[in-house]
Structure 1
Amino acid sequence: MKMSVKEVADLVGISVRTLHYYDEIGLLTPEETTPSGYRLYSDDNLETLQQILFFKELGFPLKQIKEIISSPSFNRLEALQQHRKMLLEKRSRIDRMINTIDKTIQHMKGEIQMTNKEKFEGFDFSHNPYEQEARERWGDEAVDNMTAKINNLSTEEREAMSKTANAIYNKLAALRHGSPESEEAQAAIKEWYDFLNENFGHYSLEAFKGLGQMYVDDERFTETIDQFGDGLAKFMRDAMAIYADNDQN
C-alpha cells in the first residue's frame, strides 16, 4: 500500500519539506504523483529513503548520495553491509570518547589522575567527514595536500593539534556572549585563522569567511562546534566574516 508524503514524514521522523526537497533534486522520486499533485511512496521508495538516511548519518553530502545510489553498479545489500561496518567504527570511537569524558570528570573531581595521552583518546583526525564538500569548494589538490600532511603526523602531533584546537574553541566560547567585533574576539579568531593555515593548507580570507558561513549552514559543523557552547558556531561565523572583511580593506 502506497503512503502519502505526510505518512512517510511521520513514520520516519523527518519533515514533509525534506521529502519535497529530495524529490526536487531527484534524490528520492515518489513512485506515483496523483492528478491532484499528491506524492505517493512505495515500499521500494522507503527502502531507498532508508539508504539515503544511512548515508546521511555517516556524513555523506546529498550530491554524493545521489551519485552513489543512482549508479548502475549500486548494490543495496553491499551498501548495508558497508553502513554496518562504518557505524560500528563510529560507535567504537564514540564509546572511547565517552570513556574519556567519564575519566576526565573523575580527574576534575580529584578521584583519578589522567595522563596527557588519555585526555585525547577517541579523537580521530584521520577521517574527515567534510572531505567531499572541501573538494568541491577548494579543489582536489588542496585537499590531497592537507590529507597527506595529517596522515604523516605522529600520534603526539595529532594530540597536540587537537589540544590547540580545543583551547581556541574554549577561548572563543568564553567570548561568545560579547561582540564578535571586540578586540578579544578578533584576536582569538586570528588564532583560529593561523591554526587552520598552519595545519590544513592556505586559506584565503574569502575561503575563511566561507568556512565560517559553513559552520552555520551545515548542521554537522554547528553541532560539533556548539558542544563548546551554545551559539558558538554563529559567533565564529560573525567573527570570521568581520576578520576577513577588515583584512581585505
Structure 2
Amino acid sequence: MAYSMVDVSGMSGVSLSELGQYAETGLLNPAFVGQDEDIYYEKPELLRLQQILFCKEVGMEEDEIGPMLRDTPRDMIRIMQQHRIEMLEKALHLHGMIQTLDKTISYLRGEQELDEVELYAGFSNQGRHPLLNESTSDHVAKNDYYEQKQTKNGQKHDVNSLEQSTMPEGQEMKSKEDFLDSQAKIDRIHLDLQGAIEDGLAPGSSEVQQIIGRHLEWIKDYYTPTAEIYRDLGNLYVEHKNFRQMYDGYHPKLAEFLRDGMMIKAEQDLS
C-alpha cells in the first residue's frame, strides 16, 4: 500500500519540510511520484524512516545516519538490535533518575528524610550496572586514593564510612573487601546457574528461582528494580555484547537462561 507524504507525516510526526529535506539529500527517497504529482511511500520507505527516527533518538547527527542505513533485512535487524540495547541502557539510567526524583519529592512533602548525597543518585555514571561500572583494579585504586586521603587528613573513620558518606544511597562505593565479596557472590550465582543448566533444570523450577532470588538481592545492593526494569535488565544481559561475552565464559546458554528466570521472578515477586 502506498502512502502520500501527508499520510506519512501524520503517521510519523515528521514534518512535511523534513520529509522534503530527506528526499533532497537522498536520505529517504520516495517510492514513486503519482500522476497527481504527489510523493508516495511504501513499506520499505516507511521502515527506512523508522530507522532514521531511531538513529536520531539515540543522538546521531543527520550526516551520520545515511551510512548507517542498509536495505537488507539482516542489516536492518542488526541496527535495530543495537538501537534496542542503547535504549535499554537509557531505561536503566532513567530508572535511577526517577528514584532520585521520587525521593526528593517525598522529602519536600515532609514524608521522609533525604541525605544530601542522595540528591545526586542516578546522575553521570551512577546508574550503570555494577558489572559494567569499572574493573576491579580501577575500584581498588579508587579505594587506595580514599585511604591515602584519610591518612593525610588524620581522620579516624574507616574506609567504609567515608565511602558511604560520599556516594548516593544504593550506589555507595564499597570497600575493597566488600567489592571483592560482591564479585564473589555474583560469581557463585553464575556458577550455580551453570550447574542448573547442566542438570537440565528449567528457569521456572523452584531450585533455579531460588538462585534468581539471590541474583535479585545482589542487584538490590546497588539499586531497587521494578518488575519492568528487572525484565529490561534480563534482556540487556542477552543483547549487550559485554554481558554476552561474560556469560558465555560460564555457559553458552547462561545469558538466555538467566533472562528467562528473571522474567519469571519479575512476574512473581516484583509485579
Q: Whose Rg is larger?
A: 2
Q: Which has the higher contact order (CA 8 A, sep 6+)?
A: 2
Q: TM-score under structure 2 normalisation?
A: 0.43
Q: TM-score under structure 1 normalisation?
A: 0.47
